[in-house]
A and B are shown apart, each in its own frame.
Chain A
Amino acid sequence: MSPELDLIVVGGGAAGVTATRRARALGLKTLLLDEQATPGGNAYRNIDHNSGSEPRLTAALGAAYLAGRDVIGECSGTNADNWSNVQVWHLDQSGMVGILRDGRAEFLQARRVLVATGAMERPVPIPGWTLPGVMTVGACQTLLKSSALVPTAPTLMAGRGPLLLLTACQLLALGVPVRAVVMSTPWWQYLAAGLRELPAAVRMSRSLAEGLGWLARLRRGGIPVYDGAESLSVIGSDQATGLEFRTGRRLHRLDGNLILLHEGIVPDTSLTMASDCDQEWDEQQLCWRPKTDPWGRTSAATIFVAGDGARILGAAAAPLSAALAALAIACDLGRISTQERDRRARPLRTELARHQRFRRFLDALYPPPRTIRGGIADSTIICRCEGVTAGDLRQVIRLGCLGPNQAKSFTRCGMGPCQGRMCGLAVTEIFASECNREPQAVGYFRIRPPVKPLTLEQFAGAAPMSDAPLSRDMVMLAANGNSSRLMTSE
């Protein structure tokens, strides 16, 4: 492996694979890394195997899934330039990337790094969400795509967003009807959103028809759909046994042992945060995203982002932002002129703008839950790892706790192995509501490497491949590590 890499791409989904292919075509020596065994990312997970050997599953997953075959194309399989089963646990602005490969940690160096780590499902704490039997809709869909596993337990789906409806339809197509779909968006949302953003949506009429088709298919399949559900809570003591919610003044209680939750998706910002790239709070989508220029360059000149990890625009748009980033990187490194870069970017930008308009329609249709800011009950666990409740957090805020990082040392909220991925958004929003401050002013946990679990033995074996000095964090990391325990950032 030569240290003379032009570009390391982190993430082999639609964005990462496209950027890799484009960058190579522009003459950049590019290494693609992904922690999955096969490329495809979340939308096109396991596309190679499924499209080849699982016709029934692939048919149920739908045409949009199958389209992934062309997107992923020749990046399939692991080889000298495409590494699978590799976790990236460190990134800094010198272009140093810490990876874990075959149980060994090592450092790689490149002149530019593209973060294409995609999205994660928005964690929304509700009572009982830590019980076995509760998982995300995406988790269930992941089991389907990667292992051809379908639920046998009576299943309820709850929340909002296209992925929820899509997955319900995919299960239905496989003859696995869920017991009920409980939407936390009211029906008039469709009307309001439809009228406001309809012109944009009509231009993407295929996607629009698809979206409306899902609900119709579920109703035709005899699946009860509840609209405008509020105050969701999972029932059960050692295992989920049902779901409780209100519609208007009616209280509902449905039985089920598998409760699939979904409240939309948000960018995965762990690597751009760990490398100190500036982040901005998106008040429309209630999430953080890395600040970028129109090419996806972050506040660090060496680090770019593309795909849903930059901003949620969906699988079809991910290759467009990725191609733009590849052009800018090639221009940076002297492979093409700025004129050439801009010329090639023009059609990509036109296409991207169409997706942005359609996304505005989707965002209006499925606005993110506003209940996180003030509406999480004191007794609800927000930090799954350490079992910290919203009430615990509010208490230290009332005692004068200044922000998420101080709250972390007072309550252990965000200190567990997930490093705040599950509670971070809720912590920012609870601070915002308790202190009457903007989320941007509240800020977020300080994320430090390693962003993935790593033992001291693994870390000690890592030899930097560059002369770049270790950052202060890295030195602290080495000093603080406890070899027998899982190492996290604290």
Chain B
Amino acid sequence: MFERISETRTLVTIYVDGRPVHARQGDTVAAALMSLKSPQVYRLSQVNGRPRAPYCMIGHCHECLVEIEGQANQQGCLVEVADGMRIRRQLGRAEVEI
């Protein structure tokens, strides 16, 4: 849904559900995920299993929760990516590939 208009910052590789993808240094985890064509689903709600995506990008709504380096429920919009970082999407109660 978003694309990059500048390539000045260093490329890093992050792992999303085990799959290596590119991000740029200085990206937050949420920004990096939103710059990807796939996966399309950011997370599924733990309450009702519905798809949800980052809403505010500045730390208020908590719609961007992801697992980062094994730690669940991290605010993706506040954590910066690092080379080799492992990220898992939180797919609500339905632990299926989407």
Q: Which residues of A contact B (CB under 8 A)?
A: 35-37, 42, 46, 49, 53-54, 56-57, 85, 87, 103, 120-121, 123, 130-136, 138-139, 142-143, 146-153, 174, 238-239, 257-258, 268, 384-387, 416-418, 421-422, 452-453, 455, 486
Contact = CB atoms under 8 A, between A and B. Distances in A.
Contacts of A103: 71
Given A35-B78, A417-B73, A152 B3 contact: yes
Interface of B: 1-6, 8-9, 24, 26-28, 31-32, 34-35, 41-42, 45, 47-48, 50-63, 65, 71-75, 77-78, 80
Contact of B62 (A42, A153, A418): A418
B23 to A, nearest CB: 9
Contacts of A174: 5
Contacts, number: 133
30 contacts: A36-B78, A56-B6, A120-B56, A138-B57, A138-B58, A139-B54, A139-B55, A143-B57, A146-B27, A147-B24, A147-B27, A147-B31, A147-B35, A148-B4, A148-B8, A149-B3, A149-B35, A150-B2, A151-B2, A152-B1, A152-B3, A153-B1, A239-B51, A416-B47, A417-B73, A418-B62, A421-B61, A452-B75, A453-B74, A486-B73
A54 B56 CA distance: 24
Secondary structure of the B side of the interface?
A: loop
Nearest to B50: A130
B61 A35 contact: no
A135 B78 contact: no
A386 B6 contact: no
Secondary structure of the A side of the interface?
A: loop
Q: Name the residue among B2, B9, B26, B77 with the largest chain A CB count within 10 angstroms.
A: B2
B15 to A, nearest CB: 19
B62 A417 contact: yes
A191 to B, nearest CB: 33
A416 B62 contact: yes
Contact of A42 (B26, B27, B58): B58
A152 B26 CA distance: 21
Contact of A421 (B27, B54, B60, B74): B60
Q: Name the residue among B6, B9, B28, B35 with the largest chain A CB count within 10 angstroms.
A: B6
Contacts of B5: 56-57, 148-150, 174
Contact of B6 (A148, A152, A257): A148
A459 to B, nearest CB: 14
Given A35-B78, A138-B57, A453-B74, 11 more contacts: A37-B80, A54-B6, A103-B71, A123-B61, A132-B51, A135-B57, A136-B56, A148-B5, A239-B51, A257-B1, A453-B65
Cβ-closest 7 pairs across A and B: A139-B57, A132-B53, A417-B62, A486-B73, A148-B6, A149-B2, A142-B57
